[in-house]
Structure 1
Amino acid sequence: MKTILVMVLMMSLHQRVLVSAQECPSTHDLLNSLRQVEKMLAVHETSYQQGVRSLRKKISALHNSTMVIFKMGKNASCPKPDPPANGRRLGRVFGVGHEVHFLCKPGYELIGPRTRVCLESLKWSGQQPMCRRLNSTITSLASFTSDASSSAALSASPAASSPSPNSSPTSFTPSSSIRPSNCTHFLGSTHCTCDVGFTISGRDNNICTDIDECHLFPLAQPGRLCVHQCLNTPGSFHCVCPSGYSLAKDGRSCTDIDECENHSHNCTADQLCVNTFGGFQCMTVECPKTKNATYIQTSPMLCERTPCMLRDKKCTQAPSSISFHFLAVVSNMSAPRVLFRVSAARVVGDTLRFGLAGGRGRGHFSVQRSGRQTGTLLLVTPVKGPATLEAEVEMSELERNTLLGRYLTKVTLFVSPYMF
């Protein structure tokens, strides 16, 4: 608007200059013309500012009247909803657009919507929910729950104890695996959702069906939910460990229970308790009885030969000492793998040799020289458990190919039936 006014004034001034072009206006006349233009601009600017202020007042009045109407409608509220039996209601504001939530006591499950909204009709959306007692076999399981909004979200909650590995997967009634969806009716539209662990279905999205997480993530898959066994529960799942294991803190892995350390074994006082993966073994260390040599037990894991008679070659060729060692491994452990090392405290002769003398499962073992005074027992092929293998590692001292002494190490390998 200002631009148009300036153009009109400039055209008027230009015409005046053309009319008097023959006279060449003086500086005084030009200054007077510019002052007149400046006055006219100031008058129009004042008028424009007054129009803006008037418009602002009208907008403010309209906003205030709208807020009054909104507050009047906001004060309207729905009747106070009753909490379900054996449950409680969350939420103290019952105005239009506000929500209330419902929870059940432990041992009960909620049937119906978890959330209800106060509609413009001053009625609550959905139906009044109820709390129903859970099946005893379901409540004994430590379930996995999540606070995530997605029905496919999963998180783990560790259980204090795990059910027996021989227990069969829990079967659920249709009422526990199928439940109505949580629908909200607001401003003419309907939005239905399901609780965590359920997927929405039905012709009108009015049914929530339990998601079988154990079926979606089987044990053979890399992203498996449970290391051992998975039990599906309504809206969740539960991991179970075999006997001899406890459920780890992550709720999915299994941790071996050391029966020897917590004194839950049944070994006698003269037996050695050896903890294995998923159990224990009661072992008795006995020195061999042979005609050629006599051994005495000098420590719980060591037998030493008594001095031989002069020129008794059969006695001198018998092992000078026999040591016993017990190892526990998991099933199908990758190979090759170092199991045990045998070392000589000092070397008397000029040669030290290592080799396998015998034992059950020799095809799974090998002995290699790993140092001047050290030999290593290797597992060369994987072993599927459960299995018990034995290897006898022999260390011989020689002087100019003459045997000075033999030392035998008996290693017993307990292979777990599980890969954990």
Structure 2
Amino acid sequence: MHTRCPRQFSPQLLTFSPDIDECRTVPDACRGDMQCVNQNGGYLCIPRGLYTIVEREPAYSDTSRGYPEAEPYPLPPPPGPVAPSYPIVSRSAPCILGYTLSEDGTCNDIDECVTDSHQCNPTQVCINTAGGYTCSCTEGYWLVGGQCQDIDECRYGYCQQLCANVPGSYSCSCNPGFTLNPDSRTCQDVDECADEPCSHGCFNTYGSYMCNCDEGFELASDGTTCNDLNECGFSEFLCQHRCVNTPGSFQCHCPGGYYLYEDGRSCEDINECETGNNTCTTAQVCFNFQGGYTCLDQLKCDPPYIELSDNQCMCSSENPACRDRPFTILYRHMDLSSGRSVPADIFQMQATTRYPGAFYIFQIKGPGNEGREFYMRQTSNVSATLVLSRPIKGPRVLVLDLEMVTVNNVINFRGSSIIRLTIYVSEYPF
């Protein structure tokens, strides 16, 4: 609202005397809700609200607002009609700068932005105000040295991750593995596992994911698929005999005559003689060895030997044909693993009958040791041990005659006994 304020004058003085402050000397100089403002040679009555604004508004010389320097003007009166409590003066009061007098005698604000009467530079935006205008910048710009310059929002961390500054604005984006939130500034982790990118297991991480594989598989170079792990290629000792790779695992297999032990890797000999899974007749004796068995026929002693027991033949000293022959032949059987480490003590023999003044000689006699894989080591004056000196690869069957020679010089006696040892060498080293 625009209000005309009547002006009251004190009696005129022709002499140049100091101004009288009527607001202090004249009782009730202004009536009602009017405020008295002293003037040189008079005073003004104006609404109190307007006077408050005038007192609070400092003088300034911002030419950008359309005011000349060193000439302060009050802000426009507040809107809304105010009923005067004094007689209305017939003549119109002049309008303050920034207002124009209308035909009805009121003061209307001049829109300097529309009339292009402002002094804002081309980079600025004119904003009309009551009685003036201001020069400002659009959003995304700020005033620096009278010029509107772009604000680099990226410099101030407007975006949580990636930021691209553009004139007057900015744009946020996210790193791979994240998606932009509705606020267009912050980023949300993407759960890639929801799309099942892994062939086996998936573990979501912040901004990414990791694939893992089931036991027995290994992650391929693409990081998502799983390839079967060939455990058999890791070591030749994984299985005692043969390793067979399976998807995600492996299996150990044993040759015929063996079964897979509880550990799933070792092979144990099947004793066919105990299980009854053999082809021996009732007249034969089943002999088990590593990986197999054999059926032994009943002992038949070749003349001039006669059977002394189930496994022993004797040649009587009373028989002239037994001269220079071993007195007894004892039949024994044993098994031996192929490639057994050496040296190894594998068999022991000793004299069962001792004669005063006698001594004993132990030796390997006859064929069966052409490769010199064995030798006799005498451990006492009445005993000796058969020693394996070289590894033997199977399967093989070796027959050794281990001779014990008895010498008694007191009675001028020399005789011998033989243990005919049959050795079954297995095909495998177990």
Aligned to 2:359: 351
Q: Deviations over 1:267-309 (max 9, x none)?
A: 122222111111111122534323xx2312x332222234624
Structure 1 residues 236 and 225, CA gap change in structure 2 (3 angstroms) = same
**In the TM superposition, what are the counterparts of 1:9-408 in structure 2 within 5 Å?**
125-127=194-196, 180-185=199-204, 188-203=207-222, 205-217=223-235, 219=236, 224-290=237-303, 293-296=304-307, 298-306=308-316, 308-309=318-319, 312=320, 314-348=321-355, 350-362=358-370, 363-400=372-409, 402-408=412-418
Which structure shows the bigger proportion of residues in helix conformation? 1
Change (3 A) 1:365 1:125: same
| Mapped partners of 1:185, 1:122: distance in 2 | 6
- Name the structure 1 match of 2:21: none
Give the alignment's TM-score, normalised by structure 2.
0.51
Amino acid at match of 2:254: C
Quote the offset at 1:208 in angstroms: 0.8
Matched letter for residue 417 of structure 2: Y
Higher relative contact order (CA 8 A, sep 6+): 1
**Against the structure 1 CA distance between its residues 185 and 382, is the aligned structure 2 distance closer, same or farther, given a 3 Å change threshold?**
closer
Inter-partner Cα distance in structure 1 for 2:377 and 2:189: 84
CA change 1:393–1:402 in 2 (3 A) is farther
Mapped contact 2:346–2:387 kept (Cα < 8 A)? yes
| Residues paired across the two proteins, number | 240
In structure 2, what is the Cα distance between the partners aligned to 1:269 and 1:278? Answer: 22
Q: Secondary structure at the match of 2:273?
A: coil
Letter aligned with residue 351 of structure 1: F
TM-align CA RMSD: 2.7
AA aligned opposite 1:198: F
Contact 1:340–1:378 at 8 Å: present in 2 too?
yes
Residue by residue over 1:330-387, the C-alpha shift from the partner in whole angstroms, topping out at 9 and shown as x without a partner, is 1111222222222112223623222222132342121222112112222221111111
Would the alpha carbon gap of residues 335 and 189 (structure 1) be closer, same or farther in structure 2, given more than 3 Å must change?
Answer: closer
Cα displacement string for residues 212-251 of structure 1 (whole angstroms, at most 9, x for unaligned residues): 111232x2xxxx2111111111111111111111111111
Matches of 2:215 and 2:206, distance apart in 1: 26
Aligned partners of 1:124, 1:397: CA distance in 2, in Å?
87
Cα distance change, pair 120–385 in 1 and its aligned pair in 2 (3 A): same
Unaligned runs of 5+ in 1: 1-118, 129-178
**1:371 aligned counterpart, secondary structure:** coil
Give 1:123 deviation, angstroms.
11
Partner of 1:419: 429
Are 1:331 and 1:383, in contact at CA under 8 Å, matched by a contact in 2? Answer: yes
The answer on whether the counterparts of 2:258 and 2:269 sit within 8 Å (CA) in structure 1 is yes
C-alpha distance after superposition, 1:132-185 (max 9, x if no partner): xxxxxxxxxxxxxxxxxxxxxxxxxxxxxxxxxxxxxxxxxxxxxxx8132244
Using a 3 Å threshold, how does the CA distance of structure 1 residues 379 and 402 change in structure 2: closer, same or farther? farther
**Change over 3 Å in CA distance of 1:191–1:287 after alignment to 2:** same
Q: CA distance change for structure 1 residues 198 and 294 in 2, over 3 Å: closer, same or farther?
A: closer
1:409 matches 2:419: yes
Deviations 1:69-121 (A, max 9, x none): xxxxxxxxxxxxxxxxxxxxxxxxxxxxxxxxxxxxxxxxxxxxxxxxxx999
| Most deviating of 242-251 and 335-344 | 335-344
| Contact 1:317–1:403 (CA under 8 A) maintained in structure 2 | no
Deviation at 1:122, TM superposition (A): 11
Q: Tell me, what secondary structure is at the counterpart of 1:199?
A: strand
Contact in 2 for aligned 1:396/1:403 (Cα 8 Å): no
Secondary structure of the corresponding residue to residue 322 of structure 2: helix
CA distance in 2, matches of 1:411, 1:346: 20
Instruction: Read off the aligned partner of 1:233 and give its amino acid letter.
Output: T
User: CA 1:375 to 1:184, structure 2 compared with 1: closer, same or farther past 3 Å?
Assistant: closer
